[in-house]
């Protein structure tokens, strides 16, 4: 999967007006704001999904040919530290490959640096946090932040992570990021908590 592809889709949907808005990648109907996304496993590219197509995926348990629904759920966790996963940064997200390999990404000014997580460390952390065992490959991520005032651990849809990557790229300045970037990261997590409460 490519970070660029997701940010492109997200930016496209925010830049366009409703008249020339996004269309469902499956049936070509126009999609509303806040629509779902599916991941095309052949290309790693996300596609917009209309309400009816997204419902079909929900019913069929998320898989349909080579498409996977990006789930809408957001689960806040506690007691998960990136250090326990051998990742020495305060902000990272973790995804599960179809082969079970866990990859950590650290969002920075140039995109996201990656590490492969030690399987035994992942197993230990998952055993302590049963919600993590339900994390879906490719389309969900464990997101951890302890930067600034944040103390956040979440299972989120993968597009949230790419939104965060875009926030950081946009706000980063100088060598260490500057003051604004961490304020924007804090604001991102505030919105995450609010969006969960709306549901
Ligand atoms: Zn559709
Ligand atoms: Zn879309």
Reference 143, options 90, 100, 97, 99; nearest CA is 90
pTM > 0.95: yes or no: no
Residue 39 reports pLDDT greater than 90: no
In Å, the largest CA–CA distance within the chain is 50
Q: What is the mean pLDDT of the chain?
A: 83
Alpha carbon distances (Å) from 188 to 92, 133, 160: 14, 25, 9
Q: Which residues surround ligand 2, an ion (CB under 5 A)?
A: 13, 22, 48
CA–centroid distance, residue 136 to ligand 1 (Å): 22
Closest ligand to residue 49's CA: 1
CA–centroid distance, residue 7 to ligand 2 (Å): 10
Confidence of residue 192 (pLDDT cuts 50, 70, 90): very high
Query: Cα separation of 172 and 181, whole Å?
Result: 5
The domain limits of the chain are 3-69, 75-198
Closest ligand to residue 37's CA: 2
Closest ligand to residue 163's CA: 2
């Amino acid at each position: 999967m490519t970070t660029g592809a997701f940010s492109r889709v997200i930016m496209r949907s925010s830049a366009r007006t409703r008249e020339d808005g996004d269309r469902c990648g499956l049936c070509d109907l126009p999609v509303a704001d806040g629509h779902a996304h599916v991941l095309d496993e052949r290309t790693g590219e996300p596609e917009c999904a209309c309400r009816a197509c997204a419902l079909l995926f929900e019913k069929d348990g998320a898989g349909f040919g080579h498409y996977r629904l990006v789930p809408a759920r957001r689960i806040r966790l506690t007691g998960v530290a990136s250090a326990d996963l051998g990742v020495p940064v305060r902000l990272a997200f973790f995804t599960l490959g179809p082969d079970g390999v866990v990859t950590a990404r650290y969002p920075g000014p140039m995109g996201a640096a990656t590490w492969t997580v030690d399987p035994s460390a992942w197993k230990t952390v998952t055993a302590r946090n049963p919600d993590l065992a339900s994390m879906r490959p490719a389309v969900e991520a464990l997101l951890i932040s302890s930067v600034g005032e944040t103390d956040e651990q979440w299972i989120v849809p993968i597009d949230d992570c790419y939104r965060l990557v875009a926030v950081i790229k946009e706000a980063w300045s100088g060598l260490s990021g500057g003051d604004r970037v961490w304020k924007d990261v804090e604001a991102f997590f505030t919105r995450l908590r609010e969006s969960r409460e709306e549901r």
